[in-house]
Amino acid sequence: MNRTAAVVAACGLTALALLWGRPTQAQDAAEKEIERYRAMISDPMSNPGYLAVDRGENLWQEKRGSKNVSLEGCDLGLGAGKLDGAFAKLPRYFSDADRVMDLEQRLLWCMQNLQGLDTKDVVARRFSGPGKASDMEDLIAFIANKSNGMKIDVSLSHPREQEAAAVGEEMFYRRGGVNDFSCATCHGEEGKRIRLQGLPNFSKPGQAARETMASWPTYRVSQSAVRTMQHRLWDCYRQQRWPIPEYASDGITALTVFLQKQAAGGEINVPSIKR
């Protein structure tokens, strides 16, 4: 049996197991086959996410806006234009903006203040779709890739960073929406899953949190697109039937601070590839 057939067979067994309540061995077998598939296409020469990395590099160097400058003068926390390791330490407090910012927020700030760019179109295309490219997804893929092999190390030394972590933790456990769900409903216990997807436990620091956060941004095979953590959290709230959060909002950044705190020490390897 070839690998593709094995994946199909394993998925079929899993469907029966879910239907009839049989033991989880078939589910585990399916996950192993899916992981083998991911491994086959995770090499940069096979992972379509690296096309976004290349596009993002061009955007980083392109002169745009009323000031006709590139983003190469943008300070992501380590100094103007310094990218290596910057993503691993985000979100963080920026004194020039007097805010805790994640990467999307900081890039928008640099576009507006450094380049003099009207970001309405950038925000309108924040998530790519058929015939709609996303500058942000490409830039995030390029910048995050520069932290590969480094460990998640968010700072909590500034009072505003500590406040963000506390707000993010509150958001993680806050129930609401028509289903009375919270993030913790799916990600607050060990061993939960939805369909074939295992759900990492973010209620405590650990390997599951580290591996998950260190693998975003990712190339989603089912969507044929690179997706960022902003998209992941947006989609989580959408699926919970909460009001959809505003893009690059302080609330989403605060939640990301909390998740990154739980994932401290995770080794970054992006763009990864997921279903």
Rounded Cα distance, 66 and 63, in Å: 10
Within 114-216, residue ranges assigned H as helices are 120-124, 135-145, 159-173, 183-187, 207-213
> What's the token pair of residue 117?
């760019």
Cα 209 vs. chain centroid, distance in angstroms? 12
Rounded Cα distance, 81 and 56, in Å: 14
Paired with 227 in beta bridges are: 218
Rounded Cα distance, 90 and 76, in Å: 8
Q: Name the percent of the chain in helix, strand, coil, to the closest 5.
A: 50, 10, 40
Q: Catalytic site residues?
A: 236
